[in-house]
C-alpha cells in the first residue's frame, strides 16, 4: 500500500489567497481522516501560535486512519538541537511523527544557510537523532533534492545518509522548485535506491506542470510515500494534486492508496476543501472537476449513448463524480436526447429534434450560452411536452430607473402576467431594475404559488459580448437561483440588458416551479 501524506494544511495553505482558520484546519483534517490518508501534516508549530494550538487540539481528538504530523526544520547552523526553539516546538507538539526538512543542495547550504557542507550534515543527523530520542518517528524531507543531485550527486546522497544515520523512518525526495521532468525523476530515484536502503517518498511541486506525473513515476520506481495536497493547492504553481495522484495509483497502477471503498469520497472532499478555503473550485480538474466527465461535442455524445467507455477513461462514479451532457451550438441530437432522459422529460414523436437543435444553435449565435445555464435548456425541452401548461404567461412589463431629489437613484417595475386565467398586475420597487422586476414578478405569483418566497436569486452575472459596439452591444445575463440546497442557472441575451435579464429571470422562476421543485403547486 502506498502511504498518502497530505500537506494541504501546511504546504497547501502557502498558496496565494488561502488563509485557513484553526477551525478550518481541524474540519479539513477530520475529512482527510475520513478519506483515509495515512498522514496529515497539520502545520509548523514553531512558526505561529495557530499551528501550535492545532496540535494541542488534535491531541484530544480521535483519528480513525491518519497520523498527525508536525512540520519543522533542522536546527540552526550554529546550534545544537537541544538549543533550537523550532526543534523544541516539534517535541512539544506531541505527535507520534514529525516531518523534518533539511538542505540537500550545495547551493542552499552555502548561499542560504551560509554554513559549511560538513556542518549541514551534522545538523541533519543530530536533529533527526534528537527527535528520535524524544520518541518521535521522523519523516525527513530532503529539500531541493533533485536540483541538488544534479549539482552534486555525491553530496546530495550524503545528506540522505546523514538523516538515515539519525534514524529517519522515511527519506522524502523533494522537487521543491518543481522543475524536474518525469524521466529525470526516474533516473535519480534509481540511483538513490542503489545507495540507500531506507524507504523513500516523493514531494513534488508543479512549476513545470509535472507534479502528478513525477509522483506517479516515483511510485513506479519504488517510493512508498507520496506527499501532496487536495486540488494541488500550494505555493506558486502548487503541489502534486492528490485528487489526481490517488486515482492514478488505484485505477491505473492497481495499487492501494486509501482504505477499500474510500476512493468514491474524492469528489466530495475536493469540493469541500475548496469551499472551506473560500476558493472557486476548478471544475476542469481531472477526476474531481464537474467538467472532468462533461461531454459537449455531438459526435462524442452520440458515441457515449452507445458505449460510455468510448469517451471516458474511467467510470466517474469510482471517484464520486458523474457524467454530464452539455448543450451548446456544438451539440447533436444525442445531447438533447440525453438531457431529456437525465431530467425524465419525454420528447414526443411529433417533435422534430433537429428543429429544436437548430433553435438552440440560433440562440447561441445571438449571444445565449447554455453551457452554464442548463435550466434554460431543460425549459426548452419541457415546453415541448404534450399538454404542458406554463405556470404563468407574460402580458407585459416595464422597468423605470430615475433620480429623485432627496432620494437618489430609484427603480420601479410593473409586471402583468396571466396565471390560471387570472390577470395579475403588480408593481414593486428595488435597488435596481432587475431587482424590481424580480420582486414584482414574485408579488404577482405568490398568491397562486406561495412557496415561491423560498426562491432566492443567488448570483447575477453580466457579460458584454462585443465591446466594439459600446453601449449597444449584445449583453448576456446569467442568473443563479437557490431553493435550499438546490441551485439552477438560466440565461438570457439581448442588446437590451433588461430584456436579457427578464428572459433569464422568467426561465428561472418557471424552472423552479415546474421542474426543480414540483412541490410548489398552485394554491387551491
**pLDDT tens readout for residues 87-107:** 999 999 999 999 999 999 999
How large is the average pLDDT for residues 77-94?
94
> Could you tell me which residue, 158 or 442, shows the higher pLDDT?
158
Q: pLDDT class for 283, splitting at 50, 70, 90? A: confident
Percentage of residues in the chain having pLDDT higher than 90: 57
| Structural domain contains residue 309 | yes
Q: Is 311 helix (H, G, I), strand (E, B) or coil?
A: helix
If one compares 502 and 331, the residue with the highest pLDDT of the two is 502
466, three cell numbers: 462585443
Residue 129 pLDDT greater than 80, yes or no: yes
Domain that holds residue 84: 3-276
Residues 408 and 328 in one domain: no
Domain check: are 360 and 501 in the same one?
Answer: no
Same domain, 440 and 485: yes
What CA–CA distance (Å, rounded) separates 516 from 67? 43
Whether residue 79 sits in one domain with residue 13: yes
Q: pLDDT digit string (tens) for 224-263?
A: 999 999 999 999 999 999 999 999 999 999 999 999 999 9
Q: What is the pLDDT of residue 230?
A: 97
State whether 343 and 480 are in the same domain: no
Q: What is the mean pLDDT of residues 168-187?
A: 97
Domain-ending residue, one of 276, 305, 331: 276
The pLDDT of residue 495: 84
Same domain, 478 and 400: yes
450-470 per-position pLDDT tens digit: 878 888 888 888 887 765 666
Please give the residue that has the higher pLDDT: either 308 or 235.
Answer: 235
Is 337 within 8 Å of 347 (Cβ atoms)? yes
- Rounded to the nearest 5 degrees, what angle is found at the Cα of 224, between the Cα atoms of 190 and 257? 135
Residue 377's contacts (CB-CB under 8 Å, 6 or more residues apart) are: 327, 339, 360, 370
Q: How many domains does the chain have?
A: 3
Which residues contact residue 392 at a Cβ distance below 8 angstroms, ignoring those fewer than 6 apart? 417, 418, 419, 444, 445, 509, 510
Q: Does residue 10 sit in the same domain as residue 45?
A: yes
Q: Is 251 exposed, middle or buried (0-12, 13-18, 19+ CB in 10 A)?
A: middle
Residues 360 and 401 grouped into a single domain: no
Say what the pLDDT of residue 524 is.
43
Is the residue at 377 inside a domain?
no
Is residue 44 classed exposed, middle or buried when 0-12, 13-18 and 19+ CB atoms within 10 A define those classes?
A: buried
Question: In this predicted structure, what is the pLDDT of residue 152?
Answer: 97
| Average confidence (pLDDT) over 139-168 | 97
Let me know: does 133 contact 105? Beta carbons within 8 Å.
Answer: no
pTM: 0.75
- The listed range with the strongest mean pLDDT (34-43, 289-298, 473-482) is 34-43
Q: What is the pLDDT of residue 268?
A: 94
Question: Is it the case that residue 75 has pLDDT exceeding 50?
Answer: yes
Whether 347 shows a pLDDT value over 80: the answer reads: no
pLDDT above 80 for 407: no
356 and 420 belong to one structural domain? no
Asked whether the CA dihedral 321, 491, 480, 16 is positive or negative, the reply is: positive
Decide if 374 is inside a domain: no
Q: 347 and 401: one domain?
A: no
Tens digit of pLDDT for each residue in 23-47? 999 999 999 999 999 999 999 998 8
Looking at residue 301, its pLDDT comes to 61
CATH number at residue 486: 3.30.160.270
Does 232 reside within a domain? Answer: yes
Res. 387: pLDDT tops 90: no
Q: Do 211 and 339 have their domain in common?
A: no
Judged against a pLDDT cut of 50, whether residue 170 lies above it is answered with: yes
Assigned domain for 467 exists: yes
295's CB contacts (< 8 A; 6+ apart) are: 301, 304, 311, 323, 324, 325, 326, 335
Pull the grid cell for residue 229.
495536497
CATH number for the domain spanning 130: value is: 3.20.20.70
Same-domain pairing of 416 and 470: yes
Amino acid at each position: 500500500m502506498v502511504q498518502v501524506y497530505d500537506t494541504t494544511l501546511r504546504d497547501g495553505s502557502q498558496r496565494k489567497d488561502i488563509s485557513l482558520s484553526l477551525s478550518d484546519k481541524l474540519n479539513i483534517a477530520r475529512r482527510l481522516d475520513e478519506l483515509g490518508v495515512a498522514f496529515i501534516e497539520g502545520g509548523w508549530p514553531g512558526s505561529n501560535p495557530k499551528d501550535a494550538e492545532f496540535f494541542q487540539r488534535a491531541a484530544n481528538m480521535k483519528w480513525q486512519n491518519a497520523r498527525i504530523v508536525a512540520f519543522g526544520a533542522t536546527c540552526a547552523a550554529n546550534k545544537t538541537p537541544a538549543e533550537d526553539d523550532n526543534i523544541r516546538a516539534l517535541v512539544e507538539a506531541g505527535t507520534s511523527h514529525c516531518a523534518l526538512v533539511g538542505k540537500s543542495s550545495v547551493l542552499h547550504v552555502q548561499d542560504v544557510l551560509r554554513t559549511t557542507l560538513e556542518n549541514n550534515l551534522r545538523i541533519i543527523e543530530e536533529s533527526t537523532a534528537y527527535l528520535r530520542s524524544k520518541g518521535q518517528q521522523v519523516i525527513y524531507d530532503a529539500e531541493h533534492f533533485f536540483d541538488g543531485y544534479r549539482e552534486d550527486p555525491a553530496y546530495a546522497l550524503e545528506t540522505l545518509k546523514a538523516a538515515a544515520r539519525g534514524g529517519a523512518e522515511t527519506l522524502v525526495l523533494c522537487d521543491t522548485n518543481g522543475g524536474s521532468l518525469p524521466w529525470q525523476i526516474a533516473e535519480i530515484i534509481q540511483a538513490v535506491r542503489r545507495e540507500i536502503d531506507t524507504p523513500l517518498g516523493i514531494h513534488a511541486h508543479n512549476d513545470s506542470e509535472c507534479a502528478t506525473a513525477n509522483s506517479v513515476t516515483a511510485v513506479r520506481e519504488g517510493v512508498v510515500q507520496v506527499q501532496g495536497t487536495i486540488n494541488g493547492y500550494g505555493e506558486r504553481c502548487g503541489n502534486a494534486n492528490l485528487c489526481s495522484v490517488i486515482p492514478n495509483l488505484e485505477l491505473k497502477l492497481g495499487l492501494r492508496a486509501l482504505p477499500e471503498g474510500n476512493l468514491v469520497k474524492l469528489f466530495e472532499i475536493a469540493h469541500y476543501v475548496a469551499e472551506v478555503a473560500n476558493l472557486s473550485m476548478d471544475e476542469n480538474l481531472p477526476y474531481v472537476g464537474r467538467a472532468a466527465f462533461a461531454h459537449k461535442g455531438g459526435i462524442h455524445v452520440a458515441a457515449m449513448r452507445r458505449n460510455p467507455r468510448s469517451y471516458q477513461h474511467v467510470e466517474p462514479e469510482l471517484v464520486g463524480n458523474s457524467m454530464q451532457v452539455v448543450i451548446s451550438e456544438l451539440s447533436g441530437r444525442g445531447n438533447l436526447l440525453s438531457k431529456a432522459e437525465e431530467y425524465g422529460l419525454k420528447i414526443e414523436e411529433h417533435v422534430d429534434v433537429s428543429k429544436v437543435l437548430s433553435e438552440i444553435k440560433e440562440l447561441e449565435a445571438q449571444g445565449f450560452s447554455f453551457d452554464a445555464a442548463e435550466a434554460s435548456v431543460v425549459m426548452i425541452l419541457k415546453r415541448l411536452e404534450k399538454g404542458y401548461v406554463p405556470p404563468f404567461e407574460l402580458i407585459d412589463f416595464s422597468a423605470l430607473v430615475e433620480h429623485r431629489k432627496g432620494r437618489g437613484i430609484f427603480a420601479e417595475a410593473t409586471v402583468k402576467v396571466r396565471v390560471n386565467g387570472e390577470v395579475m398586475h403588480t408593481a414593486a420597487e428595488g435597488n435596481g431594475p432587475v431587482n424590481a422586476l424580480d420582486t414584482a414578478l414574485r408579488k404577482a405569483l405568490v398568491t397562486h404559488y406561495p412557496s415561491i418566497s423560498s426562491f432566492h436569486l443567488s448570483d447575477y452575472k453580466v457579460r458584454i459580448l462585443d465591446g466594439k459596439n459600446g453601449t449597444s452591444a449584445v449583453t448576456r445575463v446569467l442568473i443563479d437561483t437557490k431553493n435550499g440546497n438546490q441551485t439552477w442557472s438560466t440565461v438570457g441575451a439581448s442588446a437590451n440588458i433588461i430584456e436579457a435579464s427578464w428572459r433569464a429571470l422568467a426561465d428561472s422562476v418557471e424552472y423552479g416551479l415546474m421542474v426543480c421543485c414540483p412541490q410548489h403547486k398552485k394554491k387551491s
